[in-house]
């Protein structure tokens, strides 16, 4: 009898337990499947709005949905990006933090969420938090190239050139891209900081490193010229400035005024004119050289000679700025009587005023001053002088 009771209890207890569990979970399971049925149409509707570039409607739908599972991670990442693009960084951060906090998230998606959260902080200007996240990605060996690129951006913003050089070297290895021109300009930034502070002990070495990496680094030659000019070593400065002709002629206009002073300091003005004439003969299509020579002729020999010089050269190489300079000298040679010509010159002045003097050859960013870093496309050494072509 005892054995029969034991057998019955052995069977009945688990059955009762399972029945009780089923009764209590039935409602939850049914609700769960109902919610899944309702969930997906909303996600697809939201996604559709994203694809159709109707972010307001997409956000309206997504905001109501907080559930994250493996099927909806992509949507949450897209939503976070949408918020960041709209400048609603706090919302983007909440979404990305929510994703990272999920223990079940796989490595790939976690890395993606780290990257996006880092970009949120970058946009907010909280550089230390962004740096930490990108550094974590490097440590995790996930999305390293993208993480390095953002770290490079951060160190550039902080003018931390040593760290920037370190990252650029790692990027060269990871992405096989060539960063030698950029690293050369980082060395120039370091040299420039020393030059501004009057601490010149490392400048020579920094310039040497820049030129070793990029023999065409114009900025390194200009910096070397500046350093030697400051030390009144004019012969050495002339050699450095003259290097620009071979490196990138379009920057020659930048160094001509300093070069002329160097020759003046050595009492060799005639040699400067000879050198300038040589440049004009070798590079007939560069207006900045003609402009400079015309200024010297006008100053030394008078406006009539400057007019003859420009007339001769502009016949084969017409440029708007050249014609404008010619009009200026004609007006001056005529003693300021040409009121009609003055009126025309004013119109040409207006056209030239709105033209950029410098332009990035990669993104078209326009500027009135020379920058070595393009704020438009974040490239180094891509902004060129247009003065020679105007
Ligand atoms: Zn650019």
Helices then strands, each counted (H, E), the chain: 18, 3
CA of 382 to the centre of ligand 1 (A): 6
Structural contact between residues 99 and 68, judged by C-beta atoms closer than 8 angstroms: yes
66 Cβ contact list (under 8 Å, min separation 6):
98
* 136 within domain boundaries: yes
Q: Which residue carries 């404008």 as its tokens?
A: 324
78 Cβ contact list (under 8 Å, min separation 6):
47, 50
Structural contact between residues 223 and 191, judged by C-beta atoms closer than 8 angstroms: yes
CA of 223 to the centre of ligand 1 (A): 23
CA of 360 to the centre of ligand 1 (A): 5
* 344 within domain boundaries: no
* 123 within domain boundaries: yes
CA of 132 to the centre of ligand 1 (A): 28
Q: How many CB atoms lie within 10 A of CB 314?
A: 17
pLDDT tens across 209-267, in order? Answer: 999 999 999 999 999 999 999 999 999 999 999 999 999 998 999 999 999 999 999 99
> Structure tokens of 244?
């620009």
Q: What is the DSSP string of 323-351?
A: HHHHHHHHHHHTTT--HHHHHHHHHHHHH
CA of 381 to the centre of ligand 1 (A): 9
354 Cβ contact list (under 8 Å, min separation 6):
none
CA of 74 to the centre of ligand 1 (A): 32
Q: Which residue has the higher pLDDT, 98 or 165?
A: 165
CA of 372 to the centre of ligand 1 (A): 10
CA of 361 to the centre of ligand 1 (A): 7
* 92 within domain boundaries: yes
CA distance 335 to 332: 5
Question: Which pairs count as long-range contacts for 254-258, CB under 8 Å and 24+ apart, including other chains?
Answer: 254/222, 254/370, 254/385, 255/222, 255/225, 256/288, 256/289, 256/292, 258/225, 258/226, 258/229
* 368 within domain boundaries: no
CA of 61 to the centre of ligand 1 (A): 37
Q: How many CB atoms lie within 10 A of CB 160?
A: 14
CA of 358 to the centre of ligand 1 (A): 11
pLDDT tens across 321-363, in order? Answer: 899 999 999 998 888 677 888 899 999 999 888 888 899 999 9
What CATH number corresponds to the domain at position 72? Answer: 1.25.40.10
* 143 within domain boundaries: yes
Mean local confidence (pLDDT), 313-320: 84
What is the pLDDT, as a whole number, of residue 39? 53
* 146 within domain boundaries: yes
CA of 359 to the centre of ligand 1 (A): 8
CA of 378 to the centre of ligand 1 (A): 6
Place 70 in a pLDDT band, splitting at 50, 70 and 90.
Answer: low
HSE-up of residue 383 (Cα within 13 Å, Cβ side) = 22
What is the pLDDT, as a whole number, of residue 289? 92
What is the pLDDT, as a whole number, of residue 16? 47
Place 388 in a pLDDT band, splitting at 50, 70 and 90.
Answer: low
CA distance 92 to 119: 10
> Structure tokens of 130?
């962004």
Place 55 in a pLDDT band, splitting at 50, 70 and 90.
Answer: low
CA of 146 to the centre of ligand 1 (A): 19
Q: Does pLDDT of 177 surpass 60?
A: yes
* 35 within domain boundaries: yes
CA distance 78 to 73: 9
Provide the domain limits for residue 119: 18-155
What is the pLDDT, as a whole number, of residue 63? 55
pLDDT tens across 102-111, in order? Answer: 888 888 889 9
- For the chain, how many structural domains are there in total? 1
Mean local confidence (pLDDT), 70-96: 85
What is the pLDDT, as a whole number, of residue 335? 80
What is the pLDDT, as a whole number, of residue 228? 93
Q: Does pLDDT of 364 surpass 50?
A: yes
Q: Does pLDDT of 69 surpass 70?
A: no
């Amino acid at each position: 009898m005892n054995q029969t009771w034991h057998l019955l209890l052995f069977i009945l207890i688990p059955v009762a337990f399972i029945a009780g569990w089923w009764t209590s979970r039935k409602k939850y399971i049914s609700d769960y499947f109902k919610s899944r049925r309702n969930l997906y149409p909303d996600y697809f509707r939201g996604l559709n709005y994203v694809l159709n570039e109707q972010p307001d409607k997409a956000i309206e739908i997504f905001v109501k949905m907080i559930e994250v599972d493996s099927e909806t991670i992509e949507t949450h990442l897209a939503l976070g990006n949408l918020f960041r693009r709209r400048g609603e960084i706090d919302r983007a951060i909440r979404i990305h933090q929510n994703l990272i906090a999920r223990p079940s998230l796989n490595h790939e998606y976690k890395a993606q969420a780290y990257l996006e959260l880092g970009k949120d902080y970058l946009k907010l200007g909280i550089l230390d938090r962004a740096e930490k996240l990108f550094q974590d990605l490097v440590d995790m060996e996930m999305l390293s190239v993208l993480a390095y690129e953002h770290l490079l951006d951060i160190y550039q913003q902080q003018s931390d050139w040593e760290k920037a050089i370190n990252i650029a070297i790692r990027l060269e290895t990871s992405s096989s891209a060539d960063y030698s021109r950029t690293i050369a300009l980082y060395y120039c930034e370091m040299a420039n900081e020393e030059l501004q502070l009057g601490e010149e002990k490392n400048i020579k070495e920094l310039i040497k490193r820049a030129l070793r990496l990029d023999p065409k680094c114009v900025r390194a030659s200009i910096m070397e010229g500046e350093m030697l000019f400051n030390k009144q070593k004019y012969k050495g400065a002339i050699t450095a400035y003259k290097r620009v002709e071979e490196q990138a002629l379009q920057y020659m206009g930048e160094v001509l005024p300093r070069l002329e002073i160097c020759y003046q300091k050595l009492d060799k003005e005639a040699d400067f004119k000879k050198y300038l004439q040589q440049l004009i003969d070798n590079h007939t299509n560069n207006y900045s050289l003609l402009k400079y020579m015309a200024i010297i002729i006008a100053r030394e020999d008078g406006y009539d000679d400057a007019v003859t010089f420009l007339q001769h050269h502009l016949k084969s190489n017409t440029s708007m700025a050249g014609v404008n300079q010619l009009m200026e000298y004609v007006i001056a040679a005529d003693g300021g009587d040409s009121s009609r010509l003055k009126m025309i010159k004013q119109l040409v002045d207006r056209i030239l005023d709105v033209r950029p003097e410098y332009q990035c050859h990669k993104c078209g960013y326009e500027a009135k001053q020379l920058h070595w870093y393009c704020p438009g496309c974040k490239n180094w050494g891509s902004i060129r002088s247009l003065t020679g072509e105007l």
